[in-house]
Structure 1
Amino acid sequence: MISFFRSIFQSKIGLFFTFAFVGLIAIAFASSDITGSTFGGVGGGNVASVGSEDIAAGDLSRSVTSAFEGARAENPTLDLATFVDQGGLESILDQMINNHALQVFARDNGMAASKRLIDSEISSIGAFRGPDGQFSEQVFRQVLQSQGLTERIVRGDLERALVGEQILLPVTYGVRAPDDLILPYASLILEGRKGRIALIPSAAYAPKDTPGDKALTTFYSANSERYRLPEQRTIRYAVFTTETLGDSINPTEEEIQAEYGRRAQEFAASETRSITQVVTTTEAAANTLAAQIRSGKNLEQAAQDVGLSASEVNNVGKEKFARDFSNAYADAVFGASNGEITKPAQSPLGWHVARVTDTNKQAARSLEQVRGVLTAELKETKTLEALADLTEKFEDEFAGGASLAEVAGSYDLEIKSTPSLRSNGQTPDQAGYSPDNVVQRVIGNAFAMEQDSSPQLAELIAGQRYAMYDVADIKEATPPPLAEIKDNVIRDYKLEQGAKKAKETSETIKKQVASGTALDTAISGLDVRIPPAQRVGTTRANLIRPDSNVPPPLALMFSMAEKTVKTIEAPGNQGWYVVYLEEIEKGDASKQPQLVAQTKQQFGGLLSGEYTQQFINAVKNAVDIDKDEGAIKAVNDQITGRNRIN
């Protein structure tokens, strides 16, 4: 059902809908990465209203946090304030408004997602399955609690996703670009360009003399951010395991006996049957088929001869058999021996003829026989419950102002401390230091915490091992004293001065080449010696490959007219390139149907995204939307910590 949106998530336009699942994104990783940490803490109030729907401040805060954690997985050095400053909060709020607008529009036009459909989607999420592979209410609640989510949030996200699918699928279904549009673009991919590139290096024009202290200090002050050392933090942590729970997780004799009594039917004597069956529409047809089989004809062949097919039912007890089919059919199956053909019996599906292929009898099991199983299962259940209670207790104590030392001390937990670390786990203070598994697990969150943040909890091994941690010291990212890096600053100063003259030279060469002078001739007339121009060439296909690493001057040729010249700066003040485009080789995709088909498919995705966005814009125009800028700023300040008094 959600497959349509899984595909549009891949496009930039389709990203609007991704945030309908910000809670479920966290859930998707819950089974292997439950941190239990949250940011913000914004409570009541709304940041926007969309028709009759409100967007709560707390929901926006949680959505921003979830999106930030996903972004930090790609960029571990990213911090929450930077994420917000780069437009993260505004973008996510816009996506939430889009999603609510679609829901309001759907409701106004009689479209909805039923409770049964939402239940089905919840039960299909792998993180909610228990040890038997089936949906578990207990696991569902535990995952939601660990992620700071509620059932209301999850159901609301799913409802918006399902309703959005109903609306948007018809908008984009069957979208395709016309063939006359595709061939020119496909041919453009095959286009090749050839030219010459010369580097005018800064080093060739860099001053030989060492700059004076005043010039160097002025340069360093203007460029100090270039030398900024990464932020460092000291992390303190304590590990607690199931051993911390003591004997409280061991089931008592009374609990074992009660569990045995509750599951008495499971341990009672049982019998299951496996069959191969054929279902006919009438009793007469069933009797004829049964007679043919009893006379020696193969059941499968007999069914095939009359246009029917045989099916198997395996390892089913009589009670379930009667529930799935009928009492009469269950009596017939369980009244026959292995290999015997049953007497035709009726169910709501029709008249059944079956051959019993296997009988499995299980003797009753006494309490002593299953004591080990019951003890282990009860211990596992009690452990999960006790750990949930314990982590909740720790969180309450931290929220109440208790320190890491106080909580850890009350349970005799050892507190360990790291050296001053950078966000990548390295430390300039201890050569050869390597963070342990606990530090590797929590360092990302630790670098997102504020100095005065409450301690956090992290799950290390599901249901077995956890950690509590905080940040003991923060060394802000600052440039080092000039004296410590003076040689590097002198080098950069000289390169910058040389780059200015290299730019002037490149512009002079550009004018000469544009007037008809050959590039090599213009270079040879310089008063300094520089490397000769290089012949280069490539195709647009190489330029747009996902793994492409085409140098900027080579890429520049694809935005130039034939027989023209341009300049472009080399990175790091290394100099300036002079780029001359000699020839454009036009491509022809008419003989490459696979490339044309791929281009057509890509255009279809772009058009689908455009149609989707335009439709959403139209929906928003038809719905009353109000933003509370004050509430939005409050969320911004809360999750970035800017409302704290420094």
Structure 2
Amino acid sequence: MLTALRRLSSTWVAKALFVLLVLSFGIWGIGDTVRNLGRDTALARVNGEPIETEEAQAALRREMQRLSRTVGSQFENDPRVRRALAEQAVDQLVLDRVLRAETARLGIAVPDQALREFVFSLPGFRGPAGGGFSRAAFDNFLRSNGLTEGEFLNLVRADLARQQVSTAVRAGAAAPSVLARRLYQWRDQQRAATVVSLPASAAPEPPAPTEAALRRFHENNPQMFSSPEHREAAVAVLTAEIMGREVEVSDADIAAAYEQRRASFETPERRTVEQALFQEEGAARRLFEEWSADPETPFSVVASRTEAAGGQATQLGTVERAVLPLPELAEAAFSLAPGSVSAPVKSPFGWHVFRVTGVEPGTSRPLEAVRDELRNALAQERAADLAFERANQVEDALAGGATLEEAAKRFGLGYATVRTDASGNGPDGKPVELPVIRDAREPLLRAIFEAESGTAPRLKETEAGFVAVELREVSPPALRPFDAVEDEVRQAFLADARRRAQEERAAALLAATRSGKSLAEAAQEAGLGSREVGAITRAAAQGQDAPGGGAVPPELLAPLFELKPKEATMVPTRDGFVVAQLLEVTEPDPDANPDALARLRAEAGQAVAADLEAQYVAALRNRADVRINPRLMDSLAQP
């Protein structure tokens, strides 16, 4: 038998079978590689540059974390939300590639020193009370966002380069005068109306309800008569206040900090500056001669002259020297006497003429005046740094199997076991004791109600400090027995009946106006009072201080500006209903208030600049060769 097998193995058929076996095992071992031959593994490409799936996944995680921090417990990771966030994350990565390519084409670079100064100036990386750069806060930010230091610095560098492009695109943007006039007429249009208010409290007393009616109302409105969800949880907190007990600050430390932060205790001089900008020196010099001859000339007049000469006038507001973009401009504006006009100053933007209308002198606070403030600030900074270190130790202990209570005792954390609803009240309706200060109660409660059953406690940074929650029991909302809430049901039933009665009266008034009666007549026939209100503007409708802002209910303002004269509307309010009929519309005259028109034009110019930037970015994207892999995009959007 063995002799026959050896003879068979030497034939060409057996050799072919061995080759096939070897190939099949080899392909099975590298199957993924073979299957992906000729297939693009990049989720997207921008001008040929790949965006790999791993990068898109990291961007998606950051988007989800950002949204979760924004909406808190309302965040739901359902497929539609994840799909939208995935598309947004990929779109941001595409735009980043597009803008990086443009900054590279333009030769824009960000020096390391500028990058360092910008990062050190970010408030989120400073210690409490205006302290210096905190390495611990920086590292925690990187950890929370899943970034390495190099990745973060590359993102910031690219963003600073893009800002230079953005500034160039927005420079010189201005709103046409005709647009400003139209906006002024739209914004300051005034309306007068007849108004009838129908508060529920003024409704006729409804008949006493039967017990059957009350029981039906109780059953049909469970959200009104249910006990809230209660949660029993063990919570541990680590805050700078807790760590502050272990921190000491010497006088030498305070003196060194004062020298390091001297700028924080000095307020620079601020000036209120107006500017006229021209492209030609001759036009700038002619305006300077006219303006300096009469420095009290109203800015609206100066703006008109500047525009007529082909220039642009702007009220820069009250600014510091550092706000002005170029040293020659800052020197010109800050060397002027109040009320005087500067000679034309040349810059890459053109020829500038300045007028200074006000000066706020700078101030300086000596060390003795800020000693206690600095002591507290340093103590909080060091306590915060110590808290980050202690948080890592607590995390290690929890990961090693320690209970939350054991870790809290070992590392001196605040600890409590509570049973509470989302508002911080216990089953008895009284506020529960939490191991945090009053201002931190809400963030801690939010953390308790974001916790999931069966999840091991982990220390997370929140607005309340570092918090760990061990959720032990959840008691869902439950409809309280009718007998226990009968009085509440009765009051709610009567309030609902009064509101429905006022709704019917409002509907009757509205029907009467549509049959040809004025609202005042219809109200008089119904035995109701009415009033005429005038000088209502859209600024009032937007909640700003303006005539008519408090004369009518806020719910009525927006609908009132959709009506034509003699038309009426009815809207529900917080305490009932209101009916209104538009009487007349008064159009404003822009020439009657040139200063307000100039301010509105400046605001519109900022909006035009934003639109220009958006169109520029859209054009760059459309010009780029953007290709997205739909299969990998679908995979990214899957949970």
TM-score range, shorter chain: 0.5 to 0.7
Are 2:75 and 1:81 equivalent residues in the alignment? yes
Among 163, 179, 184, the residue aligned to 1:186: 184
Do the aligned partners of 1:227 and 1:479 also contact (CA within 8 Å) in 2?
A: yes
Do the aligned partners of 1:509 and 1:519 also contact (CA within 8 Å) in 2?
A: yes
Q: Deviations over 1:604-641 (max 9, x none)?
A: 2333333333444444444224563443341xxxxxxx
Distance 1:153 1:210, change over 3 A: farther
1:596 to partner: Cα distance: 1.0
1:179 to partner: Cα distance: 0.6
1:104 to partner: Cα distance: 1.3
- Equivalence for 2:292: none
- Equivalence for 2:95: 102
- Equivalence for 2:163: 165
3-state DSSP class of the match of 2:582?
A: strand
1:561 to partner: Cα distance: 1.2
Give the residue type in structure 2 aligned to 1:581: L
Q: Aligned equivalents of 2:75 and 2:241: distance in 1? A: 38
Give the residue type in structure 2 aligned to 1:102: L
3-state DSSP class of the match of 2:231?
A: strand
Distance 1:563 1:93, change over 3 A: same
Do the aligned partners of 1:401 and 1:454 also contact (CA within 8 Å) in 2?
A: no
1:106 to partner: Cα distance: 2.9
Q: Aligned equivalents of 2:450 and 2:399: distance in 1? A: 18
3-state DSSP class of the match of 2:590?
A: coil
Are 2:512 and 1:507 equivalent residues in the alignment? no
Distance 1:620 1:633, change over 3 A: farther
Do the aligned partners of 1:196 and 1:534 also contact (CA within 8 Å) in 2?
A: yes
- Equivalence for 1:603: 604
Give the residue type in structure 1 aligned to 2:509: I
Q: Aligned equivalents of 2:123 and 2:431: distance in 1? A: 40
Distance 1:479 1:473, change over 3 A: same
- Equivalence for 2:56: 56
3-state DSSP class of the match of 1:559?
A: coil
1:579 to partner: Cα distance: 0.9
Correspondence 1:618-629 to 2 at 5 A: 618-621=619-622, 622=624, 623-626=626-629, 628-629=633-634
Do the aligned partners of 1:566 and 1:580 also contact (CA within 8 Å) in 2?
A: yes
1:195 to partner: Cα distance: 1.8
1:592 to partner: Cα distance: 1.1
- Equivalence for 1:174: 172
Do the aligned partners of 1:570 and 1:577 also contact (CA within 8 Å) in 2?
A: yes
Give the residue type in structure 2 aligned to 1:210: P
Q: Aligned equivalents of 1:186 and 1:86: distance in 2? A: 45
- Equivalence for 1:485: 485
- Equivalence for 2:516: 516
1:228 to partner: Cα distance: 5.4
- Equivalence for 1:631: 636
Among 438, 444, 447, the residue aligned to 2:446: 444
- Equivalence for 1:210: 209
- Equivalence for 1:303: none
Do the aligned partners of 2:390 and 2:411 also contact (CA within 8 Å) in 1?
A: no
Q: Deviations over 1:355-400 (max 9, x none)?
A: xxxxxxxxxxxxxxxxxxxxxxxxx999999865653243244356
Do the aligned partners of 1:239 and 1:414 also contact (CA within 8 Å) in 2?
A: yes
Give the residue type in structure 1 aligned to 2:515: S
Do the aligned partners of 1:196 and 1:536 also contact (CA within 8 Å) in 2?
A: yes
Distance 1:385 1:417, change over 3 A: closer
Give the residue type in structure 1 aligned to 2:627: D
1:533 to partner: Cα distance: 1.6
Distance 1:520 1:386, change over 3 A: closer
TM-score, structure 1 as length reference: 0.56
Are 2:573 and 1:570 equivalent residues in the alignment? yes
Distance 1:600 1:98, change over 3 A: farther
Are 2:532 and 1:535 equivalent residues in the alignment? yes
- Equivalence for 1:417: 416
1:429 to partner: Cα distance: 2.3
Q: Deviations over 1:190-210 (max 9, x none)?
A: 322222222345674674141
Are 2:561 and 1:558 equivalent residues in the alignment? yes
Query: Aligned-pair RMSD on alpha carbons?
Result: 4.7
Do the aligned partners of 2:196 and 2:578 also contact (CA within 8 Å) in 1?
A: yes
1:181 to partner: Cα distance: 1.5
1:508 to partner: Cα distance: 3.3
- Equivalence for 2:405: 405
3-state DSSP class of the match of 1:429?
A: coil
Among 192, 195, 208, the residue aligned to 2:193: 195
1:138 to partner: Cα distance: 7.1
Number of equivalenced pairs: 443
Give the residue type in structure 1 aligned to 2:95: L
Q: Deviations over 1:139-191 (max 9, x none)?
A: 74465347764314422431442243244334433222211121132133332
3-state DSSP class of the match of 2:512?
A: helix
Distance 1:412 1:196, change over 3 A: closer
Distance 1:428 1:590, change over 3 A: farther
Q: Aligned equivalents of 1:152 and 1:59: distance in 2? A: 16
Which piece of structure 1 moves more, 536-545 or 176-185?
536-545
Q: Aligned equivalents of 1:143 and 1:579: distance in 2? A: 53
3-state DSSP class of the match of 2:571?
A: strand
Q: Aligned equivalents of 1:460 and 1:551: distance in 2? A: 36
3-state DSSP class of the match of 2:459?
A: strand
3-state DSSP class of the match of 2:186?
A: helix
Distance 1:467 1:93, change over 3 A: closer
Give the residue type in structure 1 aligned to 2:521: T
Distance 1:398 1:207, change over 3 A: same
Q: Aligned equivalents of 1:242 and 1:200: distance in 2? A: 53
Distance 1:162 1:242, change over 3 A: closer
- Equivalence for 1:586: 587
Do the aligned partners of 1:79 and 1:447 also contact (CA within 8 Å) in 2?
A: yes
Q: Aligned equivalents of 2:180 and 2:242: distance in 1? A: 66
Distance 1:176 1:484, change over 3 A: farther
Do the aligned partners of 2:237 and 2:435 also contact (CA within 8 Å) in 1?
A: no
Distance 1:515 1:423, change over 3 A: same
Give the residue type in structure 1 aligned to 2:179: L
- Equivalence for 1:350: none
Are 2:122 and 1:125 equivalent residues in the alignment? yes
1:564 to partner: Cα distance: 1.7
3-state DSSP class of the match of 1:437?
A: coil
Q: Aligned equivalents of 2:119 and 2:447: distance in 1? A: 28
Do the aligned partners of 2:184 and 2:600 also contact (CA within 8 Å) in 1?
A: yes
Give the residue type in structure 1 aligned to 2:395: E
Give the residue type in structure 2 aligned to 1:197: V
Do the aligned partners of 2:447 and 2:469 also contact (CA within 8 Å) in 1?
A: no
- Equivalence for 1:295: none
**Percent of matched pairs sharing the same residue:** 21
3-state DSSP class of the match of 2:173?
A: coil
Give the residue type in structure 2 aligned to 1:395: E
3-state DSSP class of the match of 2:532?
A: strand
Q: Aligned equivalents of 1:189 and 1:532: distance in 2? A: 31
Q: Aligned equivalents of 1:47 and 1:546: distance in 2? A: 50
Q: Aligned equivalents of 2:124 and 2:504: distance in 1? A: 62
Correspondence 1:243-282 to 2 at 5 A: none
Correspondence 1:135-534 to 2 at 5 A: 140-141=138-139, 144-145=142-143, 149-200=147-198, 204=203, 207-211=206-210, 213=212, 215-227=213-225, 230-238=228-236, 390-399=390-399, 402-408=402-408, 411=410, 416-427=415-426, 429=428, 431=430, 433=432, 435-437=434-436, 440=441, 442-457=444-459, 468-477=468-477, 479-496=479-496, 499-500=499-500, 502-526=502-526, 531-534=528-531
Q: Which runs of 5+ in 2 are unaligned?
A: 1-40, 249-379
Q: Aligned equivalents of 2:610 and 2:466: distance in 1? A: 43
Do the aligned partners of 2:451 and 2:471 also contact (CA within 8 Å) in 1?
A: yes
Q: Which runs of 5+ in 1 are unaligned?
A: 1-45, 73-77, 251-379, 635-646
Do the aligned partners of 2:235 and 2:416 also contact (CA within 8 Å) in 1?
A: yes
1:581 to partner: Cα distance: 1.4
Q: Aligned equivalents of 2:122 and 2:462: distance in 1? A: 22
